[in-house]
Amino acid sequence: MHCGKEKSMKVLKFGGTSVGTPESIKSVTDIIVSQPGRKIVVVSAMSGVTNLLVRLNGALAEGNEAEASIVIEEIRQKHLDLISKLFTSEEKKKATTDLFESYFEMLLETTEEEPGAVREASVVTFGETFLSTIFSNYMEAVGVSNTLLDARDFMHVASVENPDIEPVEKLLFETLHREVPNEVYLTQGFVRIDRNKNINTLNRGGSDFTATIIGAAINAQEVQIWTDIDGFHNNDPRYVENTTALKQLTFEEAAELAYFGAKILHPQTVSPVKEKNIPIFLKNTFTPDAPGTKISSEIQAHGLKAISAKDGITAIKIKSNRMLMAHGFLKRIFDVFDRYETAIDMITTSEIAISLTIDDCRNLQQILDELNEYGEISVDRDHSIICIVGEGVINDRHTFRLFELLNDIPVRMISYGGSSNNISLLVDTKNKIKALQTLNRKLFEEKLVTETFY
């Protein structure tokens, strides 16, 4: 392939908190310099900026000029403060401020464009443009030669669900060979050009996805994702005390954990690099010497590894005495969800009913209207899926203990056996934290799983 010769390159992605302050940007620069060889660095927007841009879009959509002006000034001031604190040379400070102001003027012009999805996507991706420009200038100022790439030149991704790497590979190859060769290339995460050649996004958290798409496109040596946590933990450290960082996960385990709520990784991150067997390393910007988590095809241990939770789940039950076992009934049910492009997370069936879950309720009412003809429908909102993950977890001799949860907490659905690496439980979100803590005690703290499974 075009970029096979780039095998020695690495891809390093730094999230919003990693580039959220002058101090953290200096730390990130040290991390980049400390790694020998050529690398492409992917950066997110400065911490909090994407939320501000989403707020700006909301104000513009509502015609609320006063709110829009407040948000615009907050975004501008946040970046001017960063420039002021980062640069010691007045000359470099002024040059970077002037460059930022020119991009900021582009944002203001964009807010005047025709309302709609294209304008919204254009607005919300300016955070990455601002930060990458400031960061590139800062690295030059401290003697780190780098080339700033515009992700829109090569991140042509028609389908977020199933990205075709080939167009990205071809365009990135052309971009790299058009630019002056350098050891550090810097670009923006999150942004893409869609099938209609419009600016679009890879959805929130999508800078991880940018990094692995680029990694696959250049056949990278590895992809590093730097955040503010020491890799994947065996449970959610926001709700559970004494969680343990995992040193190793398989691609499958990481994909399951990310999809089912582990916030450290964008759910689709793993897919581009899995086929090419390019390892991902999750590292902490603030403790760079910590081992973090390696995600690869290596299976170092079977059995239970980790627990995660996904919120915002809606359960739908379709009860039908007449039709459930009839030929083609399930297909017709699934066709309804397919028509509204709504994915199903969990599904269980009995002789007279089918229960399933979704996390996208944008078309819920239309779906329910169509399902009504198939039977009696009931809907339970505000639920969470608790996911227990590990290579061959259903064969782990200690896994049975998770069912003791039924003694303490009502469980709405259980999915067991669909994957050998995942067991899922559906609980009311008000019981989520108690469920995570109870499972942590039964499966980890009571030491019934050996240390090698962590």
Q: What are phi and psi of 255, to 5 degrees?
A: -65, -40
Distance CA 171, CA 225 (A): 23
Kindly list the distances between the CA atom of residue 17 and the CA atoms of 23, 44, 46, 50, 323, in Å, as whole numbers in the listed order.
11, 9, 7, 12, 52
Contacts for 431 with CB less than 8 Å, ≥ 6 apart: 409, 410
Angle subtended at Cα 258 by Cα 453 and Cα 336, rounded to the nearest 5 degrees: 130
d(CA 433, CA 411): 13
Residues in the chain: 454
Per the annotation, binding residues for ATP are 13-16, 227-228, 238
302-316 CB burial, b ≥16 within 10 A, e <16: bbbbbbbbbeebbbb
Residue 311, classed as helix, strand or coil, is strand
User: Residues at the annotated binding site?
Assistant: 13-16, 50, 128, 227-228, 238
Q: Burial of 275 by CB count in 10 Å (0-12 exposed, 13-18 middle, 19+ buried)?
A: exposed
Other Cβ atoms less than 10 A from the Cβ of 260: the count is 21
The HSE-up count of residue 316 (CA atoms within 13 Å, CB side) is 27
Binding site, annotated residues for substrate: 50, 128
**Of all helices (H) and strands (E), which one includes residue 232?**
none
Q: Please tell me whether residue 386 adopts helix, strand or coil conformation.
A: strand
DSSP 180: P
